[in-house]
Amino acid sequence: DQQVKQNSPSLSVQEGRISILNCDYTNSMFDYFLWYKKYPAEGPTFLISISSIKDKNEDGRFTVFLNKSAKHLSLHIVPSQPGDSAVYFCAARPSGNTPLVFGKGTRLSVIA
Amino acid sequence: KAGVTQTPRYLIKTRGQQVTLSCSPISGHRSVSWYQQTPGQGLQFLFEYFSETQRNKGNFPGRFSGRQFSNSRSEMNVSTLELGDSALYLCASSPRMTASSTEAFFGQGTRLTVV
């Protein structure tokens, strides 16, 4: 039972344009959402997060939007740069002391 | 400050063998979590330790086990290896009891190939 779903395995975007990565979840008890970025041969690194009490969080070129009624969140990268090419994982935290639940990841390729 | 260190980085084992992977967390971090990453399944939670106690366990068979030492270093063991165990095994450390926040830091992983 995949509680966090990233339905697009891959995405290609031209340099300078907007990248939009999507994530859907099924568990309404998730209270915190995170995006991680992973380069080949490296571990995932934290990118940006959002609490369930907010609908938007911005950090430089990265913005995460949360739509609780639709159980959907998205990560916007503007403008996209070749160095953004990586696998992006959406993760959610159930309430309480329970581990993060990750999606399967979306591979972003930013083409120069 | 040194990051999370996982050893070895790469490993090739034969079906039926057993393997032990090691994780040294960031100094001062007492929580260590283990994840399995495969191309089709993303990151799947294996187990989590805090102060030498297993706090959470994922949905993996009993062939997968782990432990944490008093210095917070952790090992995971997989016995009777199967081809499907081939994956990248990632360790994350956190200062808090559960590595479910922005304070979880991942190591580079151990790439296990079972032949």
What are the pLDDT digits (tens) for B40-77?
788 999 999 999 999 889 999 999 999 999 999 999 99
**Set of chain B residues whose Cβ sits within 8 Å of the Cβ of A34:** 101-102
Question: Tokens in use for A44?
Answer: 């995932």
**Is A37 touching B (CB cutoff 8 A)?**
no
User: Which B-chain residues 67-86 have CB contacts (< 8 A) with chain A?
Assistant: none
Question: Tokens in use for B40?
Answer: 């089709």
Of the partner residues A44, A89, A100, the one whose CB lies closest to the CB of residue B100: A100
**Span B18-46, average pLDDT:** 92
The DSSP code sequence of B19-65 is EEEEEEPPTT--EEEEEEEETTTEEEEEEEEETTEEEEE-S--TTEE
**Span B71-96, average pLDDT:** 94
All residue ranges of chain A with pLDDT < 70 are 1, 96-97
Q: How far away is chain A from the Cα of B17, in angstroms, using its nearest Cα? A: 25
Average pLDDT of every residue of chain A: 93
CB contact under 8 A, A105 and B42: yes
CB contact under 8 A, B102 and A46: yes
